[in-house]
Structure 1
Amino acid sequence: MIYPDNFEQKTGFDRIRAMIHSRMLCGLGVEQANRFSFSVDYNEISRRLGLAGEFMQLMSMDENIPLDNFFDVTDELSSIRIEGTYIDLHRLYDFYRSLTAVKSLLNFIKKLNPSGYPHLRNSAAGVNYFPVLLDCVGDILTAKGEIRDDASPELKRIRSAIRQAENDRASRLKNVLLSARRDGLIAPDVDLTMRNGRLVIPVERSAKHKIDGYVHDESLSGKTVFIEPSVVVEANNRLRELEFSESREIVRILLTVTDEIRPYIDDLFVTFGFLGLIDYLHGLSSFSKEINAVCPVLKNEPCGDWLNAVHPLLFLLHRNENKKVIPHSFQFNDDCRILLISGPNAGGKSVLLQLVALLQYMVQCGMPVPVSEGSVMGVFNSIFLAMGDEQSIDNDLSTYSSHLNHLSYFLKYSDKHTMILIDEFGAGTEPVLGGALAEAILEELNHSGCYGVITTHYSNLKQYAASVRGIMNAAMLFDTANLKPLYQLRIGEPGSSFAFEIAGQAGIPRNVLQRATEKVGKTNLEFERNIQDIIREKVQWEDLRQQAEREKEQAAQIRQRLAAELAHLKYQRKDIILKARNEADELLTQANRTIENTIRVIKESQAGKEKTKVARKQLSDQATQIRSHPHTDEQLEKRIKAVTEQNQQETATETFVAGDLVKISGQSVPGIIQSIRHGIAAIEMGHSILHVELSRLTHASPDDGPVVHSRKSSIDLLSVKMNFKPEIDLRGKRTNEAIELVQRLIDDAVMTGQPSLRILHGKGDGILRHMIREYLKTEKVIKKYYDESEQFGGAGITIIELDI
């Protein structure tokens, strides 16, 4: 149930629908769009979102979807149900082209991955493109939609006779024209022309009696008359009779073809309904892509976990003005069924309320919505909206009376499956009494178990929300330093109206504000000030918390690095001992061989004194080598200690923290570390932020050169955050180019804090996918990567999760 009747106009959905209609190809899509109205059927909504998601996936992959020759001929099909009627030639050609389009679409969908596009394949199942009718109509039409000469033997005979009659007429006219030129009745450059369907000769009025024939027309000045020579009248009459015969034969052919179509009319409506569905999905997907919409996770219960939701109309407006729209994230659950939003006027409360109404309505119509991937949206049986001024002179209805009528309806019909949206709750009457009544109504609505969003300025409602379960205070933030709204939503605390501050900025005299402060009362004033103090303190604590988190993360990185170094040293210790033992064993083995060989040589050769001396020298050298090798634990420990000291010297300068002055290997310009995350340092260098592995850094000193500080680095970072898109299309790219683009995408994701990325590389032979994944294995910041779900592209898309 939707309330009120003008819900679509109040939320702007009528404008959304019009934009989608404008992107369709014909009236079939518009008719289908009107059928996709608000639904409470979970399975139907899921089906619609599935269709939209699959079609958006096809469009994003630049598939050559056949979208030509969409024509709505359903009115003509309805008109030919009666025997003796026929479809005219022009619309028959449209009918033929539309069936050809259906054939192409069915063949296209048939080739799609069955597991990846189940909803589209199910929609195409059972749809017929009527090959018999295509052949029947194709046999009588040319490529330009004209009746073929051989559409029937009679038509072929008639057209042959027409061509002969035309030639005969032309020959006679040519003779008359040449005779008139010879006699000087017409100028040499005068030629035949057409008047009233007849070929005539332009002749000056003074000479009209000199050519035997019939005058069919004259010029505006009256100086020229157009004469049909009598010698060609008979030929023209014959030609006219043949043309009438041709028309009658064409009508007979169209009647025959229509008789072939008539038995299939009901089935043809199903076929053209499928064509309308594709047209609607094309228009919807085009619009969804324009507003960055996605298909949220749908649950068959009242709930919500909205991530970075954006008002689509506001997004389009600000895009044209090069402005950024602030996204909002919030939840609907047992602790926060109703969001009570307060804050300054023109701070964005009403826009946020309209956003919730619009997006919930859109998704229950089966439309993608502008939220982040992973957002969860539930299904509500009813959506009630009280927004705007509906006072009426005719009905003697004031603004407040209209507001109460809405609330009365809400109280009567709201339940745990209802979403309510109330703007400026309680406004329009005496504040004390209006506030009390609003609190009583809010209490009753909370007991009903409904969900929704309510905006207000009443302090008693904020206090009530803080004391009960199910209602959560929320604030639209305000820049107290510059007295400007920030349009940001903060959950868990009430907002201040900042009435006096805004009034002061608007030019209200200070003495007036002072008297107003005295009149408002100490209790109310202190409540507002306490709210403002809480907001300021929370901002400060949030800054401190984030700073502590950064420092904690840096400390964890240092501990992790030191632990890795210690593990490496332990490994080196074991390696040194093992190598030393292996070397000792090898030396002993070699020594034994040398001794045995020396003794054998002396015995066999009965060596003399010199040979014996040489052999003994070899044994002495071997013994010296054995004695010099570390064979005791003390000697091994000395070698280990030497290696450890060397490692400590090498790694002493490899521990980095934010604020260190460093240089990148191979570069001479120093920079300053801004942050470190998972072995990757963000370095301010000149006018940009670079992301570099710690292993490529060395400490620098001021003597290495000046550090260029620039505010532009923060501007560049902001620009990256504003323009960053967590996905990239690499199809058609060379491997080296693709990997470079992936590396750049990962760098930007680390810079902006984006936790996940989406890489479209296509399926093909799988070479590009393989090379990209081989590269991903080398990136330390990658937590994991995997194929997209089959519904949205499968192995043609890689999803990356970053460890940030």
Structure 2
Amino acid sequence: MLYPKDIEQKIGFDKIREFLKERCLSALGTSIVDKISYTDDVEQIQKLLHQASEFVKIISANDPFPTNYFYDVSSSLKGIRAEGTFLTVEEFLRVNNSLKTIIACISFLDKRKEEYPYLQSLNGLVKFNETIIDAISHKIDEGGFVKDSASEALADVRRNLRGKHAQVRRALDAIYKSAVKNGYVPEGASLTVRDGRMVIPITAENKRRIKGFVHDESSTGQTVFLEPSEVLEGNNEIRELENAEKREVIKVLTQLTDLLRDDLPNIKRGYQYLSLIDFIRAKAKLALDMEAVRPEIEDKPFFDWRDARHPTLYMTYKASGRKVVPLTIVIKENQNFIVISGPNAGGKSVCLKTVALTQYMLQCGLLIPVREDSRAGIYKNIFIDIGDEQSIENDLSTYSSHLSNMKFFLQHAGKDSLCLIDEFGTGTDPHYGGAIAEGILDQLVQREAKGVITTHYSNIKHYAENKESVVNGAMKYDVEHLEPLYQLEIGKPGSSFSLEIARKIGLANVVTKYAREVIGRKGLDVDDLILKLEKQTQEIQNREREAKEMDREVKRLKNKYDQLYDELEANKKEIINKAKRDAASLLATTNKEIEKTIRHIKENKAEKKETLKMRNRLANLKDEVQVKPTVQKAKVEVVPGEIEIGDSVRFIDNQVTGEVIDIRGKDVEVKVGDLKTVVKKKRLEKISRTKAREITRGYTKPSSSMNINQKMADFSGTLDVRGKRGEEVLGLVDKFIDDALLANSSELKILHGKGNGILKDLIRNHLKGSHMVQSVQDEHVERGGAGISVVTLK
């Protein structure tokens, strides 16, 4: 049941019908649009929605679905029900082309029945005799002309007609040339036809010069169109043959019409099929234009719509490049009503109409503009009370009309009813109107009806707060700028912001002050509390948004760090591997040179001159394999004065610079890059920030000048760091690991002692972050236990 009778106009469904008609290919589809009706049959709704969604897939995939010749020939088919009637050639051409389109649609869907099962099931409607298409094509060509081969008699008549035309034309040409020669024909005139007969144009003063019959004259009367007597009989025969041709064509058309009439019921069903295809295609086109989808449907009175958009408002905004703010609105199975409050022009009525129009479209079998994970139920009844219903004819005021609607609701509403009421209780004394509205709402709740209500009344908000099956909802409002956000928030009531809006538009303070006194402290406290909650909520949401943005930035930086770290580790491995290869190559070269030198000395019996020569060659080789330091220690001028927080400093015993971030007596905490360390003040010297940046940019760690062969030979698998400072130890450990990799040593020992375990923890935590280390564990108890860390490299 739908209420009131003009529900479609009130919710805007009449505009949806217009949208659909605009997208139909012909009157076939528009005739179905007018027949759209609301239904609560779940299976029927599911079928209609599946058909539309399948056609959306066809269009989206650019599948070559046949869309030519969607002709409406219903009036032509009605005219041939009586025996002896026939279709014209033009009508047959339209019928034949549209019948071919029907067959093409059927063929398309039959080939894809697994992909489009709901559309393919419509093919069962079509059962007409397809030979009628061949019969029409055999007798009428694509230009709409009955072929000579349509019948033997027609072929004979046309052959004779062509011959007679040629004979008359030859005779007429001879007479025309003679008339031209004698100057009887106006300049530029030629042979023409009048009343189906070939004639010669003759000047009026010469019309007696040639015997014949005058058929017509020019508008000025200076030229007459004369049929010479010599061709009069020939033209008569042509006229008779033309009439004979028409009779034969009518016979052909009558025979074809009889074939149509014999199968007329099935052919009409074929056009019903074509109408449905056109209509479903229009639904799919509209769905694509408004980004509509098929939600999950259940046979229960509820809805769970995510990002729902008002359909007609969305189309209007889309045309002008604007966007509709989507709404997420839910009525669960155990809920009855949502009470939406908020300021005027805040979107309450649009929200209500979105619910009404979207549910109505769904139960008419149309896809709806919601998110794909939305769910929807089915209602047997939809009752709405929207807009001003004042009636002069019935002597009803706006409030009386609302009460009449409420009376109908209370008489007919049940658990399968959707009740949508805009500005609930307004139109009369607020004190009494609010009380009556609350009573009506309570009765609707007892009848288990469901729906959405918009209101400004505080008592209705209180009722929703205290009634388990009724929930409050608020249209969000920017309390700082006093502007509507058009967003629905379920779970709390909204303020009307009356006094705030009055202040914003510049209403005199004395008026708002007077209003606050009239409202009273209690009423203001509630509204102020809602306002305060709204501000707090918006602040929390802003902080959450900032936190999410910060979290995204942190994740981005972490990903960047991980990427850079992986690149550095990969480069480190490559450098070490290359060093190993170079060392092996250098070692082989050196050994060969030494063996060559020894052999040469022996062969030359250790002569002093040759020995000296070989020693010089070895000395040159030594120089070649040595690596010199790249940077010397920079000379930096020390800044006088005590070291303070924020100063740039340099470690006296190396080139490392940093920034002082804390001073605790003789201990100073220094930030070096991303690391922090605590050192004694006497180990630091104060320098300028400019010099600190120069040192940081120009510093290059000197490479070892030790011969690689010697370093590998002198490597020890044990590192003793006992008594060392924490900031020194980690550098020593890293160098120890690098040397071990160069020496191809896989098991190492680090002596750090037991003590308080601080040094041990520092070293082990550092090693856990290295991709080169496989494991770290205590030495055997008998060989040092926890005072020694045994490191196994990968």
Task: Give the TM-score taking structure 1 as reference length.
Answer: 0.70
The Cα of 1:82 is off from its aligned counterpart by 2.9
Q: Does the CA contact (< 8 Å) of 2:70 and 2:98 recur in 1?
A: yes
Alpha carbons 2:125, 2:270 under 8 Å: kept? no
Match of 2:108? 108
- Shift of the alpha carbon at 1:474? 1.4
Q: Which residue of 1 aligns with 2:252?
A: 253
Q: 1:133 to 1:494 in 2, by over 3 A?
A: same
Give the distance between the partners of 1:463 and 1:643, measured in 2 at CA.
74
Query: CA deviation digits over 1:450-498, x for unaligned, max 9?
Result: 2221111111111111111222211122233333322222222212222
2:28 is equivalent to residue 10 of structure 1 = no
1:243-642 equivalence runs, <5 A? 243-334=242-333, 336-506=335-505, 508-548=507-547, 642=735
Q: Do the aligned partners of residues 338 and 75 (structure 1) sit closer, same or farther apart at CA in structure 2, a change above 3 Å counting?
A: same
Shift of 1:338: 1.7
Report if the CA contact (8 A) 1:334-1:470 is conserved: no
Q: Is the 8 A contact 1:103 1:129 kept in 2?
A: no
Evaluate the alpha carbon distance shift between residue 326 and residue 201 of structure 1 in structure 2; reply closer, same or farther with a 3 A threshold: same
What's 1:83 paired with? 83
**Distance change in 2, residues 1:557/1:135 (3 Å):** closer
| 1:284, distance to aligned residue in structure 2 (A) | 1.6
Residue type matched to 1:55 in 2? F
- Determine the structure 2 residue equivalent to 1:226: 225
Q: 1:565 to 1:286 in 2, by over 3 A?
A: closer
Letter of the 2:376 counterpart: M
- Call closer, same or farther: CA 1:558–1:95 in 2, change over 3 Å: closer
Identify the range of structure 1 (559-568 vs 198-207) with the bigger mean alpha-carbon deviation. 559-568
**Distance in 1 between the 2:166 and 2:713 partners?**
123
Q: Is the 8 A contact 2:186 2:201 kept in 1?
A: no
The one-letter amino acid paired with 1:477 is: K
Please tell me whether the aligned partners of residues 327 and 487 of structure 2 are also in contact (alpha carbons under 8 angstroms).
yes
Conserved 8 A contact 1:55-1:281: yes
Q: Is the 8 A contact 1:474 1:494 kept in 2?
A: yes
Say if 1:427 and 1:164 are closer, same or farther in 2 by CA, change over 3 A.
Answer: same
Post-superposition CA distance 1:621-649 (Å, at most 9, x none): xx9999856667989x9997547799xxx
Which residue pairs with 2:65 in the alignment? 65
CA distance in 2, matches of 1:250, 1:541: 84
Kindly state the Cα deviation for residue 333 of structure 1 after the two structures are TM-superposed: 0.6
Which residue type is aligned with residue 71 of structure 2? F
Distance (whole Å) between structure 2 residues aligned to residue 32 and residue 643 of structure 1: 86
Show structure 1 runs of 5+ residues with no match: 588-609, 611-622, 647-804
Deviation, 1:323, is 2.1
Residues 569/207 of structure 1: CA separation in 2 closer, same or farther (3 Å cut): closer
Match of 1:186 in 2: 185
Cα drift, residue 510 of structure 1: 3.2
Counterpart of 2:139 in 1: which secondary structure? Answer: coil
SS in 2 for 1:366: coil
Counterpart in the other structure of 2:589 = none
Partner Cα separation in structure 2 for residue 554 and residue 179 of structure 1: 101
Tell me how far apart the structure 1 counterparts of residues 444 and 12 of structure 2 sit (CA, whole Å).
26
Query: What is the letter of the counterpart of residue 512 of structure 1?
Result: V
On the 8 A contact 2:128/2:263 being kept in 1, the answer is no
For 1:630 and 1:125, how far apart are their aligned partners in 2?
Answer: 90
Aligned-residue offset at 1:210? 2.4
Write the mapping of 1:125-204 to structure 2, written as runs, cut at 5 A.
Answer: 125=124, 127-128=126-127, 130-204=129-203
Helix, strand or coil at the partner of 2:378: coil
SS at match of 1:323: coil
Give yes or no for contact 2:719–2:736 (8 Å, CA) kept in 1: no
Shift of 1:224: 2.7
Partner letter of residue 539 of structure 2? Answer: Q
Confirm or deny: 8 A CA contact 2:89 2:140 kept in the other structure: no
User: Structure 2 regions of 5+ residues with no counterpart?
Assistant: 585-605, 607-708, 722-729, 740-794
Give the Cα–Cα distance (whole angstroms) in 2 for the partners of residues 564 and 79 of structure 1. 79
> The residue matched to 1:139 in structure 2 has which SS?
helix
How many residues align structurally? 626
Letter in structure 2 aligned against 1:225: V
- CA, structure 1 residues 561+443, in 2 after alignment: closer, same or farther (shift >3 Å)? farther
Deviations 1:309-339 (A, max 9, x none): 1112212222233322111112111464422
Q: In 2 relative to 1, CA 320–549 (structure 1 residues): closer, same or farther, beyond 3 Å?
A: closer
Say if 1:343 and 1:476, in contact at 8 Å, map to a contact too.
Answer: yes
SS across alignment from 1:255: helix
Rg (Cα) greater in structure: 2
Deviation by residue 1:500-541 (Cα, 9 ceiling, x = unmatched): 333444454333333333223332233222221221111112
Change (3 A) 1:567 1:287: closer
What is residue 762 of structure 2 aligned with on the other side?
none
Report deviation, 1:299.
1.9
SS at match of 1:107: helix
> Corresponding residue for 1:32?
32
| 1:129-185 Cα shifts (integer Å, max 9, x gaps) | 643111111110112121111101011111111111221222222222222222222
Task: Please give the alpha-carbon distance, in whole angstroms, between the structure 1 residues aligned to 2:437 and 2:285.
Answer: 43
Equivalent position amino acid for 1:392 in 2: S
Question: What are the Cα deviations for residues 368-418 of structure 1, in whole angstroms up to 9, with x where unaligned?
Answer: 111122111211111111111222222222211221121111111112211
Contact 1:382 1:418 in 2 (8 A): yes
- Residues 478/632 of structure 1: CA separation in 2 closer, same or farther (3 Å cut): closer
Separation (CA, whole Å) in 1 of partners of 2:402 and 2:424: 9
Q: 1:147 to 1:47 in 2, by over 3 A?
A: same
Q: Shift of residue 443 of structure 1?
A: 1.0
Is the alpha carbon distance of 1:167 and 1:431 closer, same or farther for their aligned partners in structure 2, counting shifts above 3 Å?
A: same
Which residue of the partner structure matches residue 53 of structure 1?
53
Q: Which range is displaced more, 537-546 or 408-417? A: 537-546
Change (3 A) 1:84 1:643: farther
SS in 2 for 1:475: strand
Residue aligned with 1:86, SS: coil
Residue 209 (structure 1) aligns with: 208
Greater relative CO, 1 or 2 (CA 8 Å, sep 6+): 1
User: 2:44 aligns to what?
Assistant: 44
In structure 1, what is the Cα distance between the partners aligned to 2:68 and 2:568?
69
Q: Deviations over 1:24-48 (max 9, x none)?
A: 1112212333444222111111111
Structure 1 residues 566, 251: closer, same or farther in 2, change over 3 A? closer
Tell me the distance in 2 between the aligned counterparts of 1:492 and 1:336.
12
Would you say 1:93 and 2:89 are equivalent positions? no
Contact 1:335 1:471 in 2 (8 A): no
Amino acid at match of 2:461: K
* Aligned partners of 2:472 and 2:490 also within 8 Å: yes
TM-score, structure 2 normalization: 0.70
* Farther-moved stretch of structure 1 (50-59 vs 539-548): 539-548
8 A contact 1:102–1:129 mirrored in 2: no
User: For 2:217 and 2:390, how far apart are their aligned partners in 1?
Assistant: 68
Of residues 428-437 and 119-128 in structure 1, the stretch that sits farther from structure 2 once superposed is 119-128
Structure 2: distance between partners of 1:373 and 1:435? 39
Q: Aligned equivalents of 1:299 and 1:413: distance in 2?
A: 23
The offset of 1:438, in angstroms, is 0.3
- Indicate how the Cα distance of structure 1 residues 239 and 558 shifts in structure 2: closer, same or farther if over 3 A, else same: closer
**CA separation of 1:382 and 1:634: change in aligned 2, threshold 3 A:** farther
Give the partner amino acid of 2:28: L
Asked if 1 retains the 8 angstrom alpha-carbon contact of 2:186 and 2:223, the reply is no
